[in-house]
Structure 1
């Protein structure tokens, strides 16, 4: 094989995590010829971009990747991102210029959700593989644009789903995959966001549906992806309800932002951003450039997303799922129950009266987001109850840091062990990204129309009884 052929094979095989095509299938994960580092650029220099896909990659994988460009429309955040990440690359306000001057192998997209499609499509068009933060995008038209581009330009798209990679989620997959409770017939899945983390979405840009697509898309895409992966099937139809009853215009008082609010002493949701140096350096010090306020009032009248959500999802394999998302729970956690022909599996994390937690809710969130080895190592139970038998408790090793250990394992798969075979198929590509957001988009449309919405009516992807 010539050097040119080897080089071409390298560039086509750096799909890294799980590109796959819109028709399904995951190509071999292989860095190929290692005659130079992977050239990477980042567009969108917010918290997630500069930390998880920025500084952590620089710190952990500098032997295999090289940041060659950063792009954002806020010059202050760009300057901060360059220093915080510890890179020496050029910074850009124009995406096309960055690509033309650096010819990167991989574009990482961490902009606001409604703009993901712009950089995904353009990145593919300009000959790059693309890794995007979840969600893939925010509506079915943009989703179709991405599907068309991925087919047209023969490049790879990776979606950064980290929850699949936590040991606890993986153990659930293993139990289901091994037919522990037979054919799955129904699922109850409840996710609880607390008044610290849940409220934070409503003070950020996520509170505007035109930017974040509502939490049906931005947050629940994680949960729907887990369901699709656990059940190994595609969603077929969604019926949903939702409303905005606590945040937004539902309060009798409001301020400009938490820093200068007249109601600091009486608002239980008050958040003092001045005590967080990173938030000050990244956002507050750069408000002058784009007007983005990180500590906006939770009760501003322009908030137009839902704060309570419930959906019923029918899968192509006839599994029925009841799902709910609460954004103002006293605690943050989740619980799920799978009903099968041979029994039932129950699982939950971070339910305080199950775990006798001593940490506050903001401390728990900080540990989850920490990219180090945060939190004590311990085990969490999964209950397996077979028909006509007593229940069994399966203990699963667990730590809070990096989304339950999923962050580290996801990045190790991308940058350290791309060729390792994964018996649980945790790699997520374009079809996975599309199917997860289409549930949320269908739920949003069902609320607005009062009717069930079929997934096949949203894009040209046809739901399958068994995922590929």
Structure 2
């Protein structure tokens, strides 16, 4: 089949087509935004720490850092290059500082406690995804935000990627008519995927499972792309690969007797930042960053699939694999007039190859440049058409396809740029995690779970 045409359709140009009111948190401020960070792990000190200090130093300043681990807290202050006070007790920080926003990057299951405390103390909040891990905690956040009159921004960075925005524009323009169904498959490779099982994410009571911690990214993209909200979820999941599914196991990779025969051995000491952040501070809280992927304490799923029914009638078939030889995703939207397909990092669809062991580190970098010789493609077929169109845009080297830095620019620069309502709040945060929570419950109860069983929010057929 011949490709009919390659259409340059960049998100930068398309954004001007549909701007909606949005006030940047930096808009109209004569002084620097005062920020305080709770949770000084790798995400907190990186994207929400050092990157803000380096990229937005003229707009923002840190007035406080908090973490339960005093050693990690001291290193974070040095690594970020800030001079603000530090607190091992978040209550003390909230009492003593004056800030415009509290940034929450702690263990997922603690987000609600910190968000609610911050709101009740009169602070606005920026929280990492997922907003929280169960429906009761979600309700508490929604109630606290409403009562306080303050604002919670949920950091759905993937929305802001150039590729995601381009796809949103095509769907919003009804390129293939009304969407009726979606097939969405996400693959984590044996390097990045395994890492979730080394960390606290492998415990249900910490991260709510990858249905919530990881898939909230994917569910939020679906909600945003479809401009609708879920009403029912049927799911299947099991733990077939990691955890108890091995004949040997240790406590941590360092010093493990099984190193010679374990393909999942990971040398944390090869990275100085990880050593300074985690290894040197284990004595304070007992957190082991290079835990064994075969631990019997792992109780989350590593194989997941779900069917999601939306209020606008769309049916989504979704899957998440955590032990694939490559990492990437594929999605297809079936419409009344045709079909749209796209993907990222599928080796047999890409022109270049990448070392899978290094992929995640590159993706999580702060770079914002296009990768020479590469592009993301979106294919659109028309029913009864003889061929198809290919829409292309630059493939960005940085974190989440350039979504990280673009999200922060919208937050921390004086702009009202909000194409297609890309900025997210608590409703968006709730509707993404509720899909994962419903999936979890569907597996446990062995039946479909309606979103109305979890919240009094009424799913909207058309969000905007």
TM over 0.5: yes
Q: Name the structure 1 match of 2:461.
A: 465
Task: For residues 149-202 of structure 1, give each alpha carbon's deviation from its aligned partner in whole angstroms, at most 9, with x where no partner exists.
Answer: 011100000001110011111111010000100000000000000000000000
Q: Which has the higher contact order (CA 8 A, sep 6+)?
A: 2
Q: Name the structure 1 match of 2:291.
A: 296
Residues 57-456 of structure 1: pairs in structure 2 closer than 5 A: 57-373=52-368, 376-377=371-372, 378-389=374-385, 390-420=387-417, 422-456=418-452
Q: Name the structure 2 match of 1:35.
A: 30
Deviation of the 1:358 alpha carbon: 2.9
* Aligned partners of 2:233 and 2:435 also within 8 Å: yes
Task: For residues 295-328 of structure 1, give each alpha carbon's deviation from its aligned partner in whole angstroms, at most 9, with x where no partner exists.
Answer: 0000010100000000000000010000000000
Distance 1:89 1:409 in 2: 26
Q: Name the structure 1 match of 2:9.
A: none
* Aligned partners of 1:30 and 1:419 also within 8 Å: no
Deviation of the 1:376 alpha carbon: 2.0
Distance 1:30 1:321 in 2: 34
Deviation of the 1:357 alpha carbon: 3.3
Distance 1:305 1:210 in 2: 9
* Aligned partners of 2:27 and 2:415 also within 8 Å: no
Deviation of the 1:108 alpha carbon: 0.1
Distance 2:429 2:270 in 1: 36
Please say which of residues 349-358 and 241-250 is displaced more in the overlay.
349-358
Distance 2:346 2:200 in 1: 28
* Aligned partners of 2:26 and 2:411 also within 8 Å: no
Distance 2:461 2:198 in 1: 39
| Secondary structure of 2:447 counterpart | coil
Structure 2 segments unaligned to the other structure (5+ residues): 1-19
Distance 1:292 1:30 in 2: 34
* Aligned partners of 1:369 and 1:401 also within 8 Å: yes
Q: Name the structure 2 match of 1:11.
A: none
Distance 1:29 1:43 in 2: 22
Structure 1 segments unaligned to the other structure (5+ residues): 1-24
Deviation of the 1:417 alpha carbon: 3.9
| Secondary structure of 1:224 counterpart | helix
Deviation of the 1:423 alpha carbon: 3.0
Distance 1:387 1:370 in 2: 40
Distance 1:214 1:26 in 2: 35
Deviation of the 1:391 alpha carbon: 1.1
* Aligned partners of 1:237 and 1:314 also within 8 Å: yes
Deviation of the 1:31 alpha carbon: 3.2
Task: For residues 33-76 of structure 1, give each alpha carbon's deviation from its aligned partner in whole angstroms, at most 9, with x where no partner exists.
Answer: 43321111000000000000000000111111110000000000
Please say which of residues 359-368 and 281-290 is displaced more in the overlay.
359-368
Superposition CA RMSD, Å: 1.3
Deviation of the 1:398 alpha carbon: 1.3
Distance 1:236 1:26 in 2: 28
Q: Name the structure 2 match of 1:16.
A: none
Distance 2:461 2:453 in 1: 17
Distance 1:375 1:360 in 2: 18
* Aligned partners of 1:26 and 1:429 also within 8 Å: no
Distance 1:297 1:356 in 2: 35
